[in-house]
Amino acid sequence: MTTVICPYCFHRAQAARLPYRCLMARTGLRGGSPCDPERDDRWASFTGASHAPAAYLKGPVFVAPRTLGGLRGPGPRAECPHCGVPTPVRVCANCHSDLPSDYCEQDSRIIALVGAKASGKSTYVSVLVNELRHRVGQAYGAALAAMGDESQRRDREMAEDLYDRLRLPDATIPSAVGFNDPLLYRLSLPRKGFGRDGSRHTALVFFDAAGEDLKSAEAMNRYTQYLSAAHGIVLLVDPLQLGAVRDTLGDADGPMPAKDTPALQIAAEIATQLRSHGHGGSRGRVGIPLAVAVTKTDTVRGLLDPHSPLLGNAPHSGGRFDEADRLAVHEETRSLLEGWDSGALWRQLERDFSDVSLFGISALGAPPPAGAPADVPAAGPQPVRVEDPLLWLLARRGLLPVARPPRENGKGVPAA
C-alpha cells in the first residue's frame, strides 16, 4: 500500500486513507445544490498569516467511504457526500494542504536543498530541471513533469526567466516573511523486466530553505521536520565564501559577495538537528545521504588543473550512473577543499555524516556579465555537472542503474 509523505508538513499517511476536498462545482449535481466554501481552520493554522483571509475559504473536506471491508480506498476520485460531485483533490489529513492527484499514486523522494544566502539554490533548481528534461533526460530515457497548479506555474516562470529573459531567479523568501511551497515533479524512468518494458514513476519534492533561515539553531529548527523527512540532502557551498579563494581571486572579476553563514556551520547545525530527531546512528553520525556541491566552479576555473573532471559533464554512457566518475569528482573536490580551508569542512562532514559525497558544479557555466550581476551570460546557461548530486542520491535509492568501477586484482590494476 502506497505511503504518501505530505510535501508541506511531511506527515505520513496511507494513500487510501487521505481525505478529499469538494470542488464546489455545479456540474454533475444529483438534484442538489453545490457546496458552499468553508473556512479551513486547520490549513489556516498551518500557513499562518501568509494569505489573504478569503484564501482560507475552501471546499469542504470529507472522508470517502472505504470498500472491501475497509481495505481499499475509493480510488483517484470520490463523490462529495453533500453535493455528489466527484473530486480528484485529496488533502493532507494533518495540515489540509491540497495534494496533486498523481502525487498520491507513486512513491516520493524528498530532496532537501540547503545553502547560505547567494549560494545559488534557486538558480540551481531551475537549471537542474531543464537538464533533466533535455540532456540528462535523453541519456537516461527519463521524463520530468511538474505536478499541481502551483508547481506548474512556478516551473513555467523559472524557465521563462532564466532561458527566455536571461534573468536569475529572485532570492528565496525567509520563513519569517512567508511560507515557501515546495516544487513537485514526477520523474519517469524506464524499467525493464519480466520480458517487457515499463516505467517507474517517482515524485520528487524540492524544498528550498532561505539562507537567512540557516544562521542560527533557532531558525534552523523550523526546517528540522523537513530535513528529517528527506531521502537525501543537497548542501550547496559557495567557494567565494572561503577565505583562501577570496584572497587568491581578489576583485579582478568584480566585487566579492558579502560574507554569509559558513558552510561548516550549516553542515554542523543540520547534523545537530537531525541527531536530536533520532537520525544519529550508533556512532553519532547521521545516515541520511548528503551530497555536498561546491557551486560556481566557473569562477574558480583558473584554480583547477586543466585535466580536472570538474571542467566537463559526466558521460552517462548507456544510461548508467558512472560510479568511477563520481569517485574522481569526489577526490578532486576533497583535494581542492584541503587547499582552500585546510580540509576543515570535509573533516566536519566525515564526523557528522556516514554517507556523504562531494561534487563540483556550475549552473551557468560562466560568471554573469560585468556590471550586470543579476543577468545570465548572453549565451544562456551552459551548466556543468549540475545533475551529479541528484543522480547520486537517486542511484543510492536504487532508482538508477549504476556502472561500477572495475575491481582490482590485488596488484593495484583492474582485473581482466
Q: What is the mean pLDDT of residues 345-369?
A: 92
Q: What is the mean pLDDT of residues 35-61?
A: 87
Q: Quick one: pLDDT at residue 160?
A: 92
Any idea how long the chain is?
Answer: 416
pLDDT of 74 above 70:
no
> What spatial distance separates the first Cα and last Cα of the chain, rounded to whole Å?
45
The better pLDDT of the pair 17, 32 is held by 17
Q: Which of 62-76, 99-113, 171-185 has the highest mean pLDDT?
A: 99-113
State the DSSP code for 177.
T
CB 345 within 8 A of CB 337: yes
Q: Quick one: pLDDT at residue 70?
A: 47
Distance CA 145, CA 218 (A): 35
SS3 150: helix
Q: What is the mean pLDDT of residues 219-224?
A: 64
The better pLDDT of the pair 374, 190 is held by 190
Helices 344-352 and 323-341 cross at an angle (nearest 10°) of 130
**CATH classification of 107-403, choosing from 3.40.50.300, 3.10.690.10, 3.90.1150.10, 3.30.43.10?**
3.40.50.300
Q: What is the mean pLDDT of residues 391-398?
A: 94
The better pLDDT of the pair 224, 27 is held by 224
List of E strands, 209-338 = 232-237, 290-294, 321-322
Q: Which of 40-54, 73-87, 124-138, 202-216 has the highest mean pLDDT?
A: 124-138
Domain spans in the chain, listed from the N-terminal domain onward = 3-103, 107-403
Q: CA 409 → CA 297, 326, 403, 406, 414, distances in Å?
A: 36, 21, 18, 9, 6
Q: Quick one: pLDDT at residue 188?
A: 94
In this structure, what C-alpha cell is assigned to residue 204? 520528487
pLDDT of 311 above 60:
yes
Where does 221-322 have alpha helices with state H?
224-229, 243-249, 263-276
pLDDT of 92 above 70:
yes
